[in-house]
Amino acid sequence: MNNLHFLLSDPLTRTFITIMLSTAAICFIAGELTQNYSQVDKLWSIMPVIYSLTALLSHPSPRLWIMCILVSIWGFRLSFNLYRKGGYNIIPWRGEEDYRWKIIREHSKLKGRIRFALFNLLFISFYQNFIILLFSTPLLLAAKSGSSSLIPTDILAATLMLLFILTETVADNQLFRFWKLKHQMNDSEGQLAGSIKKGFISEGLWRYVRHPNYASEQAIWISFYLFGVAASGKWINWTLTGPLMLILLFLGSTELTERISNDKYPAYAGYKKDVPKFIPRLFRSDKYKESLEK
């Protein structure tokens, strides 16, 4: 009840909710008018920056400064990655649509203008924006804690965040280079020759987990949760909902992505069997080691 009272009475929380609802409404309208359903994708890396700046301006403190800087680094990097893939356009509602939305539109349960409009409203526009809000909520705990001194947990959170931002950067760069070479039909004898031959990337960080970029993204926001731990003094607090919901979202997203890859690439089933999804194996069997050398 105390948490509910805090959520309903805190002005900063109400501001966050107003921003989220307004953004969801804009994404829904833009998606329906343009039939481009990647509106939230464009804002995924921007909204946490907006939330962090809002919190910092309302309740400046050393902890919020660090959180805001880290979120801004994360957001700039992720925005750049989407930009170089064509996700942004000078006209905001245009840009490349994620290929998975087209496949989802063809699902028998979502076919039809009204059905998909409801899906766009409830899942694409509202639910995804709601998850972004949720994993940004440690900002609210940091704001509530006022100007409390930094503690080792803050340093741990910042270090882990930077580490996972780095691994996500490496993974995204490897994936971008792979797709660029694949479309140019280059590197037939080079470092990524095996991946290009199979049709999907399985080298670099992708030798150890099937989705190092997604794994890093989840780890970034689990690390961000630790700032809320530092601010509240509680290892388990209500902002844990954010990273948990994010993990569930990525589980569903990767399930769809892998289903598509299974249908397109004959070798993907073996790769899926040999290589873990998100967490690398600490102890590798001989068979697993052999699969990395292929």
Q: Which stretches of the chain are DSSP H helices?
A: 2-9, 11-34, 39-43, 47-58, 62-84, 99-105, 113-119, 128-135, 138-144, 152-184, 193-198, 212-232, 241-264, 268-274, 286-293
Q: What b/e readout covers 229-264, taking b as 16+ CB neighbours within 10 angstroms?
A: bbbbeeeebbbbebbebbbebbeeebeebbeebeee
Rounded mean pLDDT of the chain? 90
- Confidence class of residue 181 from pLDDT cuts 50, 70 and 90? confident
Task: Provide the pLDDT for residue 54.
Answer: 98
Q: 33-37, 86-90, 192-196, 246-250: which range is least confident on average? A: 192-196
- pLDDT score of 286 more than 70: no
Task: Provide the pLDDT for residue 282.
Answer: 77
- Quick one: tokens of 242? 């954010």
Residue 177 CB neighbour total at 10 angstroms:
15
- pLDDT score of 12 more than 90: yes
pLDDT in tens, 94-103: 899 988 888 8
- Confidence class of residue 174 from pLDDT cuts 50, 70 and 90? very high
Task: Provide the pLDDT for residue 184.
Answer: 75
pLDDT in tens, 262-273: 999 999 999 999
Task: Provide the pLDDT for residue 293.
Answer: 55
- Confidence class of residue 283 from pLDDT cuts 50, 70 and 90? low
- Confidence class of residue 110 from pLDDT cuts 50, 70 and 90? confident
Q: What b/e readout covers 11-48, taking b as 16+ CB neighbours within 10 angstroms?
A: ebbeebeebbeebbebbbebbbeeebbbbbbbbbbbbb
Residue 270 CB neighbour total at 10 angstroms:
14
Burial label, 95 (beta-carbon count in 10 A; 0-12, 13-18, 19+) = buried
- Quick one: tokens of 48? 């946490």
Q: State the DSSP string of 194-214.
A: HHHHHTS--SGGGGT-S-HHH
Task: Provide the pLDDT for residue 37.
Answer: 94
The CA distance from 29 to 33, in Å, is: 6
